[in-house]
Amino acid sequence: MQLLHFFIVLLAIPAALVSAAVPSSKRFDLTKPSFDLFRNKKLKDATVQQSFTFDNTNRRLFVAQRRNGASTTSGDLTITQLDFNGNIKGHMYLKGFGHGVSIAAQPVGSTTYLWTEVDANSNGYGTKLARFKFSSGTTLSKTSSSLTKFAPISGATEYTAAIDPINSRLLVRYHKSGAKHFALYDLGAATKGNFSKPLASFAHPKGLKTKSSTFQGYAPYGRYLYLLYGDSYEAAPKGELNSELVTVDMNTGKVVQGPTLTKAGSTLKFREPEGLAVYRTAAGQTRLFMGFASGNSGDRRSNLFYKNATIS
């Protein structure tokens, strides 16, 4: 048997665990105004962005999208690094990874490591998590020796991940027994492959009564999880604006605010919500960022907006 240069960690968590003691924290007020970071910026490829993430230490921004020419089930992604003005600074190609619903950036000194899904199934969704160094201009396949792979939840069939950069926590979203679930971990422990002690574990909330059932991203910050739903103007009934945010208490798995309509970027053409992430500025302001795709087919653009008002 050929020696593999990556490893898979498989540590089950108790299926019955529903709540935990995540320390109290402020939460974003979803009813307050949103502000622009940038609008209508090109990515490396011309497809719709799927998600984005910040390296909060090295002040970097990464956006995931399906690679030009790839099928929707191939799992082939492009990762574009941007500066905060929306200028392209680098890119990577990922072959056979997944859909790109959520990605996460982890700073290690001056280097950024990315967490993504990997080993796409027949529907194009990743069946494990991968961690790897961002290296501009390179292409990684799902069998690359530079990947570290994880399968944290026994019996789970699909994975994505997001990072709380302020509290150094990794949130894993996974599919098991016909439903989506979340599990929150200490980032340092998860990096070492230790998923035995989740800080919280709960089901993706049901019955949210959102205007759209299309799930478009998530982001953890402190005690709370933020969810994004919505469609493009082209896909929404009668072209309505239906993008909404929801806040969930990770200690209970219960909704504490929302669904709340967001009109950020309402004048954009196409305007499909795509991704959430948290970032803290050098001046200390914490922001909940929302991503939207815009533009024409064959020339989709990236747009980022943020909320910064919090509730104690």
- Please, which residues have CB within 8 angstroms of residue 61's CB and are 6 or more apart in sequence? 52, 53, 54, 55, 81, 82, 83, 84
pLDDT value, residue 29: 98
Model-wide pTM > 0.85: yes
User: What pLDDT is attached to residue 21?
Assistant: 82
pLDDT at 14 > cutoff 60 = no
The pLDDT tens digits for 86-103 are 999 999 999 999 999 999
Poorest-confidence range of 14-18, 41-45, 220-224, 252-256? 14-18
304: left (phi over 0), alpha (psi -120 to 50) or beta: beta
Segment (H or E) for 306: strand 299-307
Q: Which pLDDT belongs to residue 20?
A: 65
Look at residue 16 and tell me whether its pLDDT is greater than 80: no
Percent of the chain at pLDDT > 70 equals: 94
**pLDDT over 50 at 284, yes or no:** yes
pLDDT tens per residue across span 259-272: 999 999 999 999 99
- The answer to whether residues 132 and 138 touch, using CB atoms and an 8 Å cutoff, is no
Domains, the chain, ordered by start: 25-311 (2.115.10)
pLDDT of 129 over the 50 cut: yes
Assign 296 a pLDDT band (cuts: 50, 70, 90): very high
Average the pLDDT over 128-147 and give the result.
98
- Alpha helix stretches (DSSP H) within the chain: 187-191
Q: How far, in Å, CA of 97 to CA of 118, rounded? A: 4
Torsion sign (Cα): 22, 25, 30, 35: negative
**Beta carbons of 155 and 164 less than 8 angstroms apart:** no
> Strand locations in 109-253, DSSP E?
111-120, 126-133, 138-141, 148-150, 158-164, 169-176, 179-186, 200-203, 215-221, 224-229, 244-249
Nearest alpha carbon to residue 114 among 81, 152, 69, 68 = 81
**Which 3-state string (H, E, C) describes 32-59?**
CCCEEEEEEECCCCCCCEEEEEEECCCC
Cis peptide before 237 (omega within 30 of 0): no
Cα distances (angstroms) measured from residue 8 to each of 15, 77, 122, 148, 286: 20, 22, 21, 7, 34
Residue pair 130/117 in contact (Cβ under 8 Å)? The answer is yes
Residue 12 reports pLDDT greater than 80 = no
Per residue in 201-229, is it b (16+ CB within 10 Å) or e — as a string? bbebeeebebbbebbbbbbbbbbbbbbbb
- Look at residue 4 in the predicted model and tell me its pLDDT: 39
Closest CA to 45 of 121, 110, 100: 100
Q: Residue 9: pLDDT band by 50, 70, 90 thresholds? A: very low
